[in-house]
Structure 1
């Protein structure tokens, strides 16, 4: 058992993965999902915060088989395979907008009447909470755990081109360059994720699930495995309810990973708004020989409410941490395209010392740590039988940095090999155009005045410094 993973404390289960791979950005994710779905024999389960049946799974590298639109693709699979059942469980509140889309409503009606499509809106959550996990399981053999919903504005290539016609879907609006990430797994860990999906389906009041007896290989054809023969932990957040105890495995695992870091922490998150995580980072910044910490965020949170609340909270936490950062080891960066357009960071990734890799649906915000339903997967290189796991984690980190910096992978590898520092590597390879820009606190005077009146890291008040549940 990996020393950091403790079932019942910072994870739910630790299960063996025959194969697993990182999928960076929407095109690679949808290609892999499409190929796995095509190999399903008996059951597909999809859990999500959102689901848009109009989404088209474009591929600029390969010619896909079957319809591009996910709803039509599901129907195509059902016609090809009379033994296949499809289960879609989505957050009920987020589904309201679907009923105002004519095409979407007609699809939902057809599915409601289809004997092998089972569509359920999940209302098993506290008022105001969301089912935020993104999990797809195919025949208990292969599963995807990610930050990517099968919905609008998630598809993009790794080039993040300024003009990309395939991003104009399905509402003909371009959300702009979009960065995201997922993990695909096969083996016992996929069966565990199937149990996770079944539990949510049952808690939502879904009908009896079809039993899976097939032992098909549903790994995406042509996808090379990044990791083989290694244990993977599954960590969850579940809100406390009358019929459900609260589960805070995701929060505990974040805190344990931050505490165990020796050299560096590389993170990508849509938000930076958790006081608990910031306090854990502050503690490490106090150490003379502690790790350097780099967080990749979008320049601004999406939507008016999120922007007003989350951007303000990030500003306060950033300044509070900079005040503790006497050794200069903390940075927040935003990626930009060649034309200077911000790339929206929706990925949820944590890499520690090239030893630990974590991917899933949870962000660095309070909702993800205790209010919404979340699901992450994580692996520890020291627990893997394959001694190359740490090398592959390093490759993944360098590859992500190369994408954001707009340079070749070899340049990042060489620079990091010389500097042994994330921050110095980013500074060395920084240039005009596609780049990582350093975060600058807006309205710094107002932020510093607020900080003077509020002790962000007072442990007795850490959970209550920021009002609300975000």
Structure 2
């Protein structure tokens, strides 16, 4: 496996806060596996659990079906309460976005008191000290200073699903027992020195949001019970980078932080053969321009795959993103045709009873460049995530002595994602998805199959009414 990238993409101070060591790291696919991993790790917690998120629901079930066998408490808040009852030194800190009124009907109305009154060692805060009209969108967890999770997943209703994404799943219900559609998302896990960096970011956010309250976390004595732990698809890397978006505000910073925007554009412009993107939206003008520039400067045959939801989730999202997203996607297709490149834009779907299509909602925020670079986090490919909202991404790059092993890990992740989205079963088909050459042409043929899960996303002017 050749390394086509002579220069490093990751540059501390430009497109990342820094690069930190890891003992183990990798990707967790979808809500079932992430919630189960969080549940299992939290059971081992002794001193601290810290959680930062955009949204929480107190009653969301963390483990379901066979995964819940032997579990005494499966609801999120009940689980945290049971841990604190059993472990006298354990403290839980939860930092949530103090949401705008337009989200009022989607939130628990008395969440602050619900969490804060649950136990004397569960501390809940709303974060409202950010730039005007911005949101706290970072989604990460740290347990006992030894293991961390970061990515696109909140612990809330409507996120749990397994990797099959079937049209009908009796376990895929919210805390009120209402069924919802198939849902795809991604989270990362990390052990080692990078965990301390994430703890420092949480302490800073907590201090800013509370007007000066300093958190101190006790050092863990004894054996690290998370050492060497692996979930999902491991990445055989020794380092990971942290990148942020944070707008200038009166409360926190005087200069904006736009590391994630630079990260995306630098990585896209470094691509040699292939760009793979999964995201909830595609409306970032900076990312659009970078892809256009890449196609215009590349020889014929450059490949791009973009996986998005079939449609935006709400009327508000259609108004704010639908029109600009479709314009950008159509423009990318035109540039690709003129320059003789291949671009495939898709959504996955299952088939419900009666042959009705059941699209899988894409909520993941990932980009892969060749077999060299991967970034995953909370940032959507939108203008908001690139400049206004508070975001957090982690990234891996195939450099140094372990470059070949990292490249193999990244290729395996891409293959696993495409296997999930296409519904491939045979080893021959999965092996074909692992080859970059003519991959878009192959995916187009897969999308032509009436029984396939992968479907072409047709960009058109949305009917917002």
**What is the TM-score when the length of structure 2 is the normalising length?**
0.89
Aligned residue for 2:82?
A: 76
Could you tell which deviates more after superposition, 240-249 or 224-233?
224-233
Aligned residue for 2:347?
A: 334
Aligned residue for 2:235?
A: 227
The 8 Å contact of residues 279 and 307 in structure 2, kept in 1 or not, is answered as yes
Q: Note if 1:310 corresponds to 2:321.
A: yes
From 183, 188, 191, give the equivalent of 2:193.
188
Q: Secondary structure at the match of 2:243?
A: strand
Q: Note if 1:47 corresponds to 2:56.
A: no
Q: Secondary structure at the match of 1:121?
A: strand
Aligned residue for 2:459?
A: 441
Q: Note if 1:247 corresponds to 2:257.
A: yes
Q: Note if 1:399 corresponds to 2:416.
A: yes
CA gap of 1:264–1:179, structure 2 versus 1, over 3 A, is same
Following the alignment from structure 1 to structure 2, what is the Cα–Cα distance between the partners of residues 295 and 187?
A: 32
Q: Secondary structure at the match of 2:171?
A: helix
Could you tell which deviates more after superposition, 230-239 or 278-287?
278-287
From 266, 275, 287, give the equivalent of 2:285.
275
Q: Secondary structure at the match of 1:166?
A: coil
Alignment deviations for residues 2-48 of structure 1 (CA, whole Å, 9 cap, x no partner): 82211111000100110012101100110111111111121111000
The 8 Å contact of residues 26 and 189 in structure 2, kept in 1 or not, is answered as yes
Aligned residue for 1:257?
A: 267
Q: Secondary structure at the match of 2:344?
A: strand
Q: Note if 1:299 corresponds to 2:310.
A: yes
Alignment deviations for residues 268-315 of structure 1 (CA, whole Å, 9 cap, x no partner): 000000111111111122222463111100011111111122111111
Q: Secondary structure at the match of 2:83?
A: helix
CA gap of 1:423–1:241, structure 2 versus 1, over 3 A, is same
Deviation of 1:389 (Å)? 1.8
Following the alignment from structure 1 to structure 2, what is the Cα–Cα distance between the partners of residues 99 and 418?
A: 42
1:338-417 matched pairs, under 5 angstroms: 338-339=351-352, 340-383=357-400, 385=402, 387-408=404-425, 410-416=427-433
Following the alignment from structure 1 to structure 2, what is the Cα–Cα distance between the partners of residues 98 and 135?
A: 24
CA gap of 1:383–1:65, structure 2 versus 1, over 3 A, is farther
CA gap of 1:280–1:407, structure 2 versus 1, over 3 A, is same
The 8 Å contact of residues 419 and 425 in structure 1, kept in 2 or not, is answered as no
Aligned residue for 1:134?
A: 139
CA gap of 1:202–1:280, structure 2 versus 1, over 3 A, is same
The 8 Å contact of residues 273 and 317 in structure 1, kept in 2 or not, is answered as yes
CA gap of 1:198–1:383, structure 2 versus 1, over 3 A, is farther
Could you tell which deviates more after superposition, 59-68 or 18-27?
59-68
Following the alignment from structure 1 to structure 2, what is the Cα–Cα distance between the partners of residues 6 and 201?
A: 27
The 8 Å contact of residues 234 and 409 in structure 2, kept in 1 or not, is answered as yes
Could you tell which deviates more after superposition, 51-60 or 424-433?
424-433
**What is the TM-score when the length of structure 1 is the normalising length?**
0.88
CA gap of 1:324–1:334, structure 2 versus 1, over 3 A, is same
Deviation of 1:166 (Å)? 2.0
Deviation of 1:221 (Å)? 6.1
CA gap of 1:83–1:98, structure 2 versus 1, over 3 A, is farther
Following the alignment from structure 1 to structure 2, what is the Cα–Cα distance between the partners of residues 45 and 30?
A: 15
Alignment deviations for residues 229-254 of structure 1 (CA, whole Å, 9 cap, x no partner): 51100000001113412100000000
Following the alignment from structure 1 to structure 2, what is the Cα–Cα distance between the partners of residues 351 and 164?
A: 30
Q: RMSD of the alignment, in Å?
A: 2.5
From 2, 11, 15, give the equivalent of 1:6.
11
Deviation of 1:440 (Å)? 1.3
Deviation of 1:328 (Å)? 3.6
Q: Secondary structure at the match of 1:41?
A: coil
Deviation of 1:198 (Å)? 1.1
CA gap of 1:10–1:61, structure 2 versus 1, over 3 A, is farther
Alignment deviations for residues 184-224 of structure 1 (CA, whole Å, 9 cap, x no partner): 00001111111111111111126332322115333696747
The 8 Å contact of residues 347 and 457 in structure 2, kept in 1 or not, is answered as yes
Alignment deviations for residues 111-139 of structure 1 (CA, whole Å, 9 cap, x no partner): 3xx33111111011122210111010111
From 168, 177, 189, give the equivalent of 2:173.
168
CA gap of 1:384–1:88, structure 2 versus 1, over 3 A, is farther
Task: For structure 1, list consecutive stretches of 5 or more residues without a partner in the other structure.
Answer: 447-470
Task: For structure 2, list consecutive stretches of 5 or more residues without a partner in the other structure.
Answer: 1-5
Aligned residue for 1:424?
A: 441
CA gap of 1:307–1:64, structure 2 versus 1, over 3 A, is farther
Following the alignment from structure 2 to structure 1, what is the Cα–Cα distance between the partners of residues 60 and 26?
A: 23
